A and B are shown apart, each in its own frame.
Chain A
Amino acid sequence: MNKQGNTYTIIYIVVLVLVVGAALAATSISLRPRQQANADADKMRQILASVLITPAPAEVIPTFEATVSRRFIVDAEGAEVAGDAFAVNVAEQSKLPSAERLLPVYECRLADGSVKYVLPVYGAGLWGPIWGYVALDADGSTIYGAYFAHQGETPGLGAEIEKPAFSSQFEGKQLFKGAHFLPVAVVKAGRKPAGDEDYVDGVSGGTITSKGVGAMLSDCLAPYEAYLSTLRK
């Protein structure tokens, strides 16, 4: 058969693509459970990091099971809705209007007996998505700890949001000022926000990423206001 002819060429490429496609599908299917387990374990590690627990990689799952006493979903009215909080895709939820979102809450019981509430947040940095977890004390207002991560912020600049030097600033900040709900602002070092909300210093050289963190907090924590108010009693 003529190897330079059209028929040969077309048959050749079709067969090749089918073979490669089948190989890819087989790989993907056989590795999927392992990849999902990895992604889940990583999510658990991040949730634990927000309550300032950093277990060894092999200890993540048992520690998570021992620490998280209850996980549930609330809606913007503060009422619980059915569903698995862990399976909620925060990235998709954050695109919905706040009244329609499913809002996961992880209730953690720490070694000292205190109860913390971990809320996931998701937003946009300079180059790509940023996300994190904010842990609140039982009063629903005081931040106990925070964890932030990013997909591809500039190393040394915006990427600094994932360092404890940035996230530890949030500890002790209040989400409620009197009866008003005001998420923590992120401002340039040395500046103050316009209102009287609590604030932290942004990363120098990472202005847009820092603003992204502030916008993410106000966007993703605001829907929890009704639920957090019930904690305040």
Chain B
Amino acid sequence: MFFNPFSKDNPVVVQILGICSVLAVTAKLEPAIVMGLSVIAVLAFSNVIISLLRNTIPTNIRIIVQLVVVAGLVVIVSQLLQAYAYDVSKQLSVFIGLIITNCILMGRLEAFAMGNRPWPSFLDGVGNGIGYTIILVVVGFFRELLGSGTLLGYQVVPQCLYDAGYVNNGLMILPPMALVVVACIIWVQRSANKDLQEK
């Protein structure tokens, strides 16, 4: 249950959820990591809270209840980032708020937390959050490396390569390349796991 979302049941490359934020925050590695950690925190806690409340929630307003819990947690995370990681919160700006609309959250709350006890829900939240983070970090790694020649802001492509005529690929910084990188990951993953391939 905990390890499934890392690969075989990965929320991004298998369930194809949360693609929007993958495009938006992966131009550099650092915001990708912080975004991943934020999603892990929000997903784990909202899963636990919804799981605790699951027997009291009236069925016809359950989506609203889930949204209120998620929105509350996201605002708290955003406030914490502004207080303790100001530079990162400036970079992520609007995207932290957009965690609210991240389909992974609603997907896990609806599909798992509404029907399971708090501890398994917590594991499920952390697992799916990590699965999401892995993809974010991989995409961020390639986009920053190829697009800016840096990793976490440090120059890694040596100057002698630039002198020899190498240039950073500006296309990598633009959102469409995130889709291409994600597609490449899906390709690699489905080649490795034959049972994921559609007939």
**Partner-B contacts on A (CB < 8 A):** 3-4, 8-9, 12-13, 16-17, 20, 23-24, 27-28, 31, 34-35, 38-39, 41-42, 151-152, 154-156
Whether B173 contacts A156 by the Cβ 8 Å rule is yes
Complex: A24 Cα to B94 Cα, angstroms: 18
The answer to the question of B17 belonging to the interface, with a C-beta cut-off of 8 Å to chain A, is no
Q: Of B61, B69, B170, which is within 8 A of A12 by CB? A: B61
SS class, residues of chain B in contact with chain A: helix
Interface of B toward A, CB cutoff 8 Å: 27, 56-61, 64-65, 68-69, 71-72, 75-76, 79-80, 82-84, 86, 90, 93-94, 147, 170, 173-174
Pick the residue among B57, B76, B83 that contacts A24 (CB under 8 A): B76
With a CB–CB cut-off of 8 A, which chain B residues contact A41?
86
Give the complex CA separation of A23 and B79 in angstroms: 12
Point out the residue from A16, A28, A38 that lies within 8 Å of B86, measured CB to CB.
Answer: A38
| Cβ-closest chain B residue relative to A159 | B173
Is the contact region of chain A dominated by helix, strand, or loop, or is it mixed? helix
The reply to whether B86 and A42 form a contact with Cβ atoms under 8 Å apart is: yes
Question: Bound complex: CA of A75 vs CA of B67, how far in Å?
Answer: 48
Question: Which of B61, B76, B170 contacts A27 (CB under 8 A)?
Answer: B76
> Given A24-B75, A27-B76, A31-B79, are A9 and B60 neighbors across the interface (CB < 8 Å)?
yes
Query: Who on chain B is nearest to A26 by CB?
Result: B76
Contact of A31 with B82 in the complex, beta carbons under 8 Å: yes
Query: B69, A20: Cβ atoms under 8 Å?
Result: yes
How far is it, in angstroms, between the C-alpha of A152 and the C-alpha of B90 when the chains are bound? 10
Closest 9 A/B residue pairs (Cβ): A38-B86, A20-B72, A34-B83, A156-B173, A31-B83, A9-B58, A35-B82, A155-B173, A35-B83
